[in-house]
Each structure stands twice: as C-alpha cells, then as structure tokens.
Chains A and B, each alone.
Chain A
Amino acid sequence: MSTYADPYASSRETTEGTVFSVTGGDWDSLVTEIGQAKEERVVVNMGPQHPSTHGVLRLVLELEGETVTEVRCGIGYLHTGIEKNIEFRNWTQGTTFVTRMDYLAPLFNEAVYCLGVEKLLGITQDVPEKADVIRVMMMEFNRISSHMVALGTGALELGALSPMIFCFREREKVLDVFEFISGLRMNMAYIRPGGVAQDLPVGTIDKVLATVKDLRHSFKDNEKLLVGNTIWMKRTEGIGYLDLAGATTLGVTGPVIRATGLPLDLRKIQPYSGYENYNFDVITADTCDVYGRFLIRINELEQSLRIIEQCAQKLKVLEGAPVMVADKKIAWPAQLAMGSDGMGNSLNHIREIMGTSMESLIHHFKLVTEGFRVPAGQVYSAVESPRGELGAHLVSDGGTRPYRVHFREPSFNNLQSTSAMCEGSMIADIIGAVASIDPVMGGVDR
C-alpha cells in the first residue's frame, strides 16, 4: 500500500474488501493499489450524474476487466411523490401532476389517467368522437416526439452526434404543432376527464398535414445515416439480448418485447379511444437485440404518420363538433382564447356565464372549486405508450379527490431487465442496452 495518504485517491478497508475513493488526483497510486489487490473484480459506480445513463440512473457494475459480471440499478433519484400529491387535489388537477411523470410522453400519461377517470364515472361511451380523434392525433404526435428523443439520445450515448441534431430538429416541428393546438410544448395538461381542454384552433388541419409531409421527408435523414451503417450495426447487433420468455416473466412491454417477434400492442388487442377505426401495422422484429428495437422505433414513426393523416381526414368532417362530454356537471367549462395579455378565458364564455346562463356560472364555479365527484370503486386502464404498456390503477372513495392513484410505468418494469440483458457483456454494451430500453427516469421514480 502507498505510504503517502493521497487525499484525492484514498482507500479504506471494509467488509467487502478495499474501497477506493477517486475524486481526481494521482492515478498512479490508485493503479498500484488495485494491482496489488488479489481480487480481479472491481466494483464501479456509474451515475446518477453521468452523460450516458439516460437520466438520473445509477448503475453499479462489477467488472472483471472490461466484462461486466453483475449490474444493478439504483433508482429513486427523481422520486417526486406525485402519486401521494394527487391524493390532495381534485380529479381534474390530477391531470397536471400525472403529465409530469413520464415527461417525454405527457399526453399518454394524461390519456391513461383520463380514460381511468372516465371508466370510473361510466362515461366512456359519452366522450365525443372529436375528442377521441384529437386524443389519438396528439398521442401519435407524442409518440413521434418521444421516439425522436429516444433515438437521438441513444445515438448520442453511442457516439453518433448527428442523429441527435436531426432528431431534435424533427421534435421541434412536432412541438410546434403541440404549441399551436394546446398552448404548451411540453406537459400540456390538454387531455382532461371527459374530453380535451379546448377545441382545435383554425388552421390546425392544414398545419398538421404540412408537418406530416415535412416529417416524412426528414425522417429519411436518420434512416440513411444509421440503418445499415456498419459501425452502428456493430455496436447494436447482438447487444442487449432478451428473448420472449425473459420478456414475459419480467413484465417487459413495448418495443423490447416486439423485438422478440410478439406483436403485443394494446392499440390492436385492447383498443381505446377509437383505435379500432384506424389502419396501421404493428412493427415487430425477431432479433431480440438493440438493433431490432432501433428498427422498430424507426418504423413506428411511419405508422404514426399514417394514423395522424387518418385523424386529419376525420377531423375535416367533424368541424364544430363538441370536444367535451355533454354532461355539464363533469365537462371542464373553460373555453380559452388568446387575449391581449396572453391566453385566458374567452370573452364569449365569460359573457355567457355572467350574463346569460346561471347554470353555466354555477357549473363553472363548482367544477373549479370543488370538482366533480366520482363514484367509489377501482379501475385499471392501460394505453400503449412509446415505451410499453402504461397503466393507471385508480381508486375512488366517492369523493372529489382520488383515494389512490398508482401508475404502472413501462420504464420501471422494463428497467428491471437491465441485469438480464447486460451481464456478461462489456461496459459499452450496457449503454446501448439501456438506451434501447429507453427508460424515462421521471416515470421510473414518479
């Protein structure tokens, strides 16, 4: 052991052996000490602050040279207590909280929560068709923007810098559509129990169709760069192998299980929000590896564009249709409009509630202060988010506040498979495998 105690590269004995703390400083003394140790295995901590671990994920690796013998995930660094927070808000306010769980797919969180609330209320049939079509369109746009981040950051972590720029460029186009329709780029709280918060502004369909055309053209950049690229394939083929048996028992859903060949997509097998009326394919691969998942994500983009085009055709026919349930005791009352000082209550709505209709005023007041009451019971609703099956378990005790909200997050369940995918491979392969699972730590930790 070194005779000089280096404050930046100290070591101490513990029950598990010698622990070296490295905070910069003299590497030579550290390397000499490790060399003198009898053990060949080294335990390395990656994260929670690390450029390649896809968020605040901590990976504890046991290494033998470059080979990983054991990998364990430490999570919880982004635990926000959202589920407990919702218990102190009313049912509509829950939407704004739930949106921020899986922050790359906020509309999916909102949709599954609102589908659950509607199931508890028993108004699933009463949600107007236009609201369903808008929900499907926004969700598919969200799928595109989420896959863009997944592809971009995955490629960045493996060393490819251009896909990151391309992907964020396409994502900006989708965020423009979001801003046009809902007012916000991210975390919109647009889907509410009973429908959507406000109607589509004039010119939406043209903008949507123009964006679709633009995206279809721009997606080729990424495809031409990465699909079939030797370096990319060497880094992703055969990496992160997880077959069907492993995926089923671990509860893994989404592109990971579709890469094993099973076409498990909730939009087809248990459709919601009118998905049975759209033509699209479920993309699968049969290589069970990172490259297969990457191809699935690239091809799902085109399927999403197909669905959006069909939505736009439907919306052309549905001009002027309502976007909220007819029952005024549940429907969110606000009609928003752009004023001189930003977006706020539309003057038409204010004129109506203050001048014309006493019932509207009462409904507005009661819904905003008290919220609606949901009959007691529990329900589980699920949607197919970009990462897999996103489920919401909602328990109501008959009041205006949720009794318990639990989200079955695909990232949480998918991340468990890291050990199964990565043990026995090299450190660089772990990065690829985690990127292909595409965990969003906000969803993992909630």
Chain B
Amino acid sequence: MAPWRSRMGLEEKLPSGIVLTSVEKLAGYMRKNSLWPATFGLACCAIEMMAAGAGRYDLARFGMEVFRASPRQADLMIVAGRVSNKMAPVLRQIYDQMAAPKWVIAMGACASSGGMFNNYAIVQGVDHVVPVDIYLPGCPPRPEMLMDAILKLHDQIYAEKLGPNREKVIKEVELAAMNALPIHQLKGLLA
C-alpha cells in the first residue's frame, strides 16, 4: 500500500467504527469509478494502452477515457513501457506532481522488472523509482489484460481504508515487510 496520507480532515475526526466504514466505502466507490489516468506511455505498451482506450476495448465504460496530460489532474499513472535511466527522474517528477490519492500500474514486463532488457540503460522495474500498486506482465499485455489489471485496482481502491484505519494498515504492511523472509532464503520451492 503506497504510504500517502489522506488529509481530508473528516475521517481523522471520526472514531473508527460504523460511520468511518461507510465513509470509506463511499469514498472508495467514488474514487474507483472515475479514475483518471495520466499519459505516461513510453514504448510498445503505450500503443496497447491507446488501443485499450480506443473503440474496441473501451476504457470509457470505466470512466477512464480522459487521459489527463497534466499530472495535477490525474489519479492513476500507468507506466507503459521501458523506463530508461534518462527518463527515470522525469518519471519521479511526474509522480510527485500528482496529488494524493494516486495509484501506479506498472504495465508490461519492462515496467515491472526491466523485462528482456537487463542492461545498463533500463531501470530494472519502476518500483525502484515509484511505489507500484499493480504489476501487469506481458510484452505487451493485451488491452484486455490491462483492463483486468485496472479492475483489480478498482477492487483494491474500493477496499482502501481511511484515517486511523489507514495508518494502522500502513504500519502492519511495513512490519510484515520488515519481518519477511528475504528471497535468497526461500529455499526448496523450485518445484
């Protein structure tokens, strides 16, 4: 969970309980149904993203056909394509310019992990630069796969907590990550 803090004020005054849960559900419902993506199409995945926004695989039915060019007005950054070392600071600057609440989908193998380009020029996964909510594999992923990722993100957004509940969840996730077994110690799972 990306650790941006929402400062709406209202939910911080409310005690955790039934009222806050209803506010969470309402806010989640509103947010997920009009998620505006920021244009961050870089390479081949950008073409599939455009195809997802075009006539056949219509993103407008999710309220997402407006790809806002200005990151100030966008909620979702779909990093579509390979991020080179020259582009990484620009990526971070665009992410910083977005206002919370904001989410990131790493679309494609290159955005998720560097893809087939394991070399000097490509950042091996944009999670080195921005916190990612959904990793979408594929080279490039079909528009239907992108829509599946967006729908999974919608479920995540709907379930997100606000206020003191959110602080609690962030602390729990951080503790779990600190105590997790590192990958090189995960032995015996090659089957």
Q: With the chains together, A50 CA to B71 CA distance in Å? A: 10
8 A Cβ contacts from B62-93 to A: 67, 69, 72, 81-82, 84, 86-87, 90
Q: With the chains together, A49 CA to B79 CA distance in Å? A: 12
> CB-CB < 8 A to A171: which residues of B?
51
Whether A103 lies near B69 (C-beta < 8 A) is no
Is A78 close to B, CB under 8 A?
yes
Whether A76 lies near B86 (C-beta < 8 A) is yes
Q: How many A-B residue pairs have CB under 8 A?
A: 94
Is B24 close to A, CB under 8 A?
no
Q: With the chains together, A164 CA to B65 CA distance in Å? A: 13
From B90, B117, B140, A80 is in contact (CB under 8 Å) with B117
Q: With the chains together, A77 CA to B85 CA distance in Å? A: 8
> CB-CB < 8 A to B56: which residues of A?
168-169, 172
Q: B31 to nearest A CB, angstroms?
A: 22
Whether B119 lies near A168 (C-beta < 8 A) is no
Q: Which of B4-12, B38-46, B147-155, B166-174 contacts A (4 or more CB under 8 A)?
A: B38-46
Is A56 close to B, CB under 8 A?
yes
Is A81 close to B, CB under 8 A?
yes
| Residue among B41, B55, B120, B142 with max Cβ neighbours from chain A (10 Å) | B55
Whether B44 lies near A186 (C-beta < 8 A) is yes
> CB-CB < 8 A to B44: which residues of A?
100, 103, 186-187, 442
The chain B residue sitting closest to A99, CB to CB, is B44
Is A433 close to B, CB under 8 A?
no
Interface of B is mostly: loop
> CB-CB < 8 A to A168: which residues of B?
50-51, 54-56
**Known A51-B39, A172-B56, A441-B43: A80·B51 in contact at CB below 8 Å:** no
Is A23 close to B, CB under 8 A?
yes
**Known A50-B69, A80-B117, A441-B43: A172·B97 in contact at CB below 8 Å:** no
Q: With the chains together, A153 CA to B47 CA distance in Å? A: 10
The chain B residue sitting closest to A446, CB to CB, is B121
> CB-CB < 8 A to B23: which residues of A?
none
From B41, B55, B97, B121, A79 is in contact (CB under 8 Å) with B121
> CB-CB < 8 A to A128: which residues of B?
none
**Known A168-B54, A187-B140: A80·B122 in contact at CB below 8 Å:** yes
**Known A49-B94, A103-B43: A186·B117 in contact at CB below 8 Å:** no
Chain A 80-120, CB-CB to B under 8 Å as 1, else 0, gives 11101100000000001100100110000000000000000
From B54, B86, B117, B122, A164 is in contact (CB under 8 Å) with B54
Q: A170 to nearest B CB, angstroms?
A: 10
Whether B72 lies near A84 (C-beta < 8 A) is no
Whether A78 lies near B81 (C-beta < 8 A) is yes
Q: With the chains together, A84 CA to B48 CA distance in Å? A: 26
Chain A 161-186, CB-CB to B under 8 Å as 1, else 0, gives 00011001101100100000000011
| Residue among B43, B84, B94, B116 with max Cβ neighbours from chain A (10 Å) | B43
> CB-CB < 8 A to B50: which residues of A?
149, 153, 168
Q: With the chains together, A23 CA to B39 CA distance in Å? A: 18
Whether B117 lies near A85 (C-beta < 8 A) is yes
Is A251 close to B, CB under 8 A?
no
From A49, A79, A97, A103, B47 is in contact (CB under 8 Å) with A103
Is B139 close to A, CB under 8 A?
yes
> CB-CB < 8 A to B142: which residues of A?
185
Q: With the chains together, A97 CA to B82 CA distance in Å? A: 13
Whether B55 lies near A85 (C-beta < 8 A) is no
Whether B54 lies near A79 (C-beta < 8 A) is no
Q: With the chains together, A79 CA to B42 CA distance in Å? A: 11
Would you list 21 pairs from A and B whose C-beta atoms are within 8 A, ordered by A residue? A23-B97, A49-B94, A55-B41, A76-B86, A77-B84, A78-B42, A78-B43, A78-B87, A79-B86, A81-B117, A81-B120, A82-B117, A164-B54, A168-B56, A169-B55, A186-B44, A186-B47, A186-B48, A187-B44, A187-B139, A442-B44
Given contacts A49-B40, A169-B56, 8 further A-B contacts (CB under 8 A): A51-B39, A78-B82, A78-B87, A81-B117, A85-B117, A96-B116, A172-B55, A185-B48
**CB within 8 Å of B: which residues of A?**
23-24, 48-51, 55-56, 76-82, 84-85, 96-97, 100, 103-104, 149, 153, 164-165, 168-169, 171-172, 175, 185-187, 441-442, 445
The 9 closest A-B pairs by CB, nearest first: A168-B54, A103-B44, A51-B69, A81-B121, A77-B87, A81-B119, A169-B55, A172-B56, A165-B55
